[in-house]
Chains A and B, each alone.
Chain A
Amino acid sequence: MSEYFIRSTMLDAKQAPKSNVGIVGWLQKNVFSSPLNIILTVVGLFVSYMTIKALADFVFFNAVFDATNGQECRPADGEPGGACWSFIQVFFKQYVYGRYPTEELWRPDIVFILGAALLIPLLIPKAPFKAVNSFLFFVIYPFLTLILLSGGDFVITGFFIPFIDLFGKTQGNFIFELSIVTALICAAIYFFGKSVGEDMKSTMLSIVVVAVIIAVIGLMLSSNFGLEVIETDIWGGFLVTLVVAITGIVLSLPIGIILALGRQSKLPVIKFLCVVFIEFWRGVPLITILFMAQNMIPLFLPEGGEAVDNLLRALIGVTLFASAYMAEVVRGGLQALPKGQYEGAQSLGLTYWQMMVKIILPQALKHVIPGIVNTFIGLFKDTTLVYIVGIFDLLGTVKATIENPEWIFPLQAMTGYVFVAFVFFIFCFGMSRYSIFMERHLHTGHSR
């Protein structure tokens, strides 16, 4: 027994040897651990230096900041050129707003500011009133934007539904009429239906509320608020980029949810239709969809179809495309939920829609927020394609100014496109950082 060991004094922690920690340790691990590593480090440093130098030279050291025309942007003979930032500065307003008239710029400005004010609290997990915030941002704000930017006063006549003129005042506004009629029918069922069950009644009530909201929106759209009407082909620049991207993502979310639910449905017709829809829009390039929208929407509509706005055609194409991708993202979230959630809800006697709205979708959507943000980043990048079908987003506007005869110089295209690349990089990189932040945040809420 006495040959065995019993400690008499505890040992304190000692300092780690120099070669293990700090700068020396880092160097040992990274640079000197093997000959290959040394070579890689040297080559890596060299490549980095050359790249950073070339970029810095172009963006800063050789750049021109005070030119007034293309001639002044040129470098002296024999010298390497740099970007001519004056070129960007001169056209900057166009890059942001397009050809939107200067006196009316307060309208897009309100749209930008209001959008930021509504979006930022939505993105901060701890900010309160998420439901109200979401309703304002996803339902009210889009229509507000539409009216502000375009001037409202739309003529909303029926295309497929025969013309009903009920009140004379509504000027054939079929959205208003349709929703009021629906609201009245459902209210009638609610008040007077005898053999109708309780949950049917509450469904009727919800439909009435929604229909009234839609009616109000329809009325607002066709009203004249005294704003000058600005056609969408005057809009341009970053404004258009945002309009396309945000419309795409906002509309594609509800459509995507419905498609995802439909794809999971046991009803064969619905499942088949949803699968075909999703696979079709996902299987073709976006540019073909935009072309299809541009060329075929006027053909599909009865006489007067060409009057359909160019931007609207592109928005329809983008929305259909985004919905298909969104459907897959939501489907991933639905599949990630354990079956027990469905079974638990069903065993409590909840109906399909109650189960979906109250139990399944809230959980599934939380899972897919990173996926939604990633889809949005992709959509944001894809908006650049709309210039090919004649809609002047940021890229299209910059491209158009590159042909401006006053400002021709060798590095003109390079300057313009580097600027666009920079803007997109800032936004997309920022959004992807946010997505990672959200993923981590949600994970800590979920880890057991």
Chain B
Amino acid sequence: MTDLAVKMKNVNKWYGQFHVLRDVNLDVKKQEKIVICGPSGSGKSTLIRCINRLEEHQEGDIIVNGTELTNDLKKIDEIRKDVGMVFQHFNLFPHLTILENCTLAPIWVKKMPKAEAEAIAMKYLERVRIPEQANKFPGQLSGGQQQRVAIARSLCMNPETMLFDEPTSALDPEMIKEVLEVMVDLANEGMTMLCVTHEMNFARQVADRVIFMDQGQIIEENEPEAFFSNPQHERTKLFLSQIL
């Protein structure tokens, strides 16, 4: 149990009357990299947002790093310290500098002294290859740069698991590559990753498993090569034919 990063058992979620997640079962091992794909409305974003409680599930169990996800605020905060998230629209804090964006959580949640937090922030900004932008504001950066900052910001909390919700969907084509490169580096260093994305090359390069979702349920899972070259389910075949 404790070497599972995430365990989801019979998870059901409704938005009002709409049954958005139907009996989802998923085990994510530590250091495993999973890519989730599917048509819009399939529930894939909702799935990963349930993991850090940005969305609430009504039925079933979600256990993250051994801690069960319930309405207990303390447990939720603990889980959020260990799980980082990168959003489609970056969600950087526009009124703070890049450096302040990254040091905010370490200072206020982990109670780190400012100098230490800044050192860690600079380390990760170097990792994502934009240390020179530290004192600029998000509005002054390009989309690709902002997303890399968002990744660095999450890394500053030293999470064990990273969730990515369509991280490159809002970027211009020429900037997608720089963000994917950072994500590949991250994967190679052993981070547990759940990534909702349409970038199939990234899936091929990095994923241990590719999961296809439709209508709120997992339709097919497989290793990337097998998944792309030999899809089994009808819906998987249909979806792949539309995007490849």
Contact = CB atoms under 8 A, between A and B. Distances in A.
**Complex: A in contact with B (CB within 8 Å):** yes
Interface in A103-153: none
Interface stretch (B11-19, B139-147, B183-191): B11-19
A353 interface: no
26 contacts: A4-B220, A4-B223, A4-B226, A5-B218, A5-B220, A6-B233, A7-B218, A7-B219, A7-B220, A10-B215, A11-B22, A11-B23, A13-B18, A13-B19, A14-B12, A16-B14, A16-B16, A16-B19, A16-B58, A17-B14, A17-B58, A17-B59, A19-B58, A20-B14, A20-B16, A21-B16
A1 interface: yes
Interface string B16-33: 111100110000000000
B199 interface: no
Interface in A61-95: none
Interface string B41-64: 000000000000000001100000
Contacts, number: 52
Contact of A4 (B17, B215, B221): B221
A21 to B, nearest CB: 6
A14 B233 contact: no
Contacts of A4: 209, 220-223, 226
B217 interface: yes
Contacts of A10: 215, 217
- Classify chain A's interface size: 10 to 19
Given A5-B220, A7-B217, A13 B22 contact: yes
Contacts of A14: 12, 19, 22
B2 interface: no
Nearest to A17: B58
B58 A11 contact: no
Contacts of B221: 4-6
A246 B157 CA distance: 62
B91 interface: no
Contacts of B205: none
Interface in A1-33: 1, 4-7, 10-11, 13-17, 19-21
Contacts of B232: 6
Nearest to B25: A5
Interface string B201-244: 00000000100000111111111001000001100000000000
A11 B22 CA distance: 7
Contacts of A19: 58
A447 to B, nearest CB: 19
Contacts of B17: 15-16, 21
Nearest to A8: B233
Contacts of B58: 16-17, 19-20
Contacts of B18: 13
A11 B43 CA distance: 14
A194 to B, nearest CB: 59
Contacts of A17: 14, 58-59
Nearest to B12: A14
B76 to A, nearest CB: 15
Nearest to B217: A11
A18 to B, nearest CB: 11
A17 to B, nearest CB: 6
B219 to A, nearest CB: 5
Contacts of A6: 219-221, 232-233
A21 B18 CA distance: 10
Contact of B223 (A1, A11, A13): A1
A17 B19 CA distance: 10
Nearest to A5: B221
B67 to A, nearest CB: 23
A13 B41 CA distance: 14
Contacts of A21: 14, 16-17
Nearest to B227: A4
Interface in B119-159: none
A7, A17, A21 — most chain B CB neighbours (10 Å): A7
9 nearest interchain CB pairs?
A16-B14, A13-B19, A5-B221, A11-B22, A4-B221, A4-B222, A7-B219, A6-B232, A6-B220
Contacts of A20: 14, 16, 58
Contacts of B16: 16, 20-21
Contacts of B219: 6-7
Contacts of A5: 218, 220-221
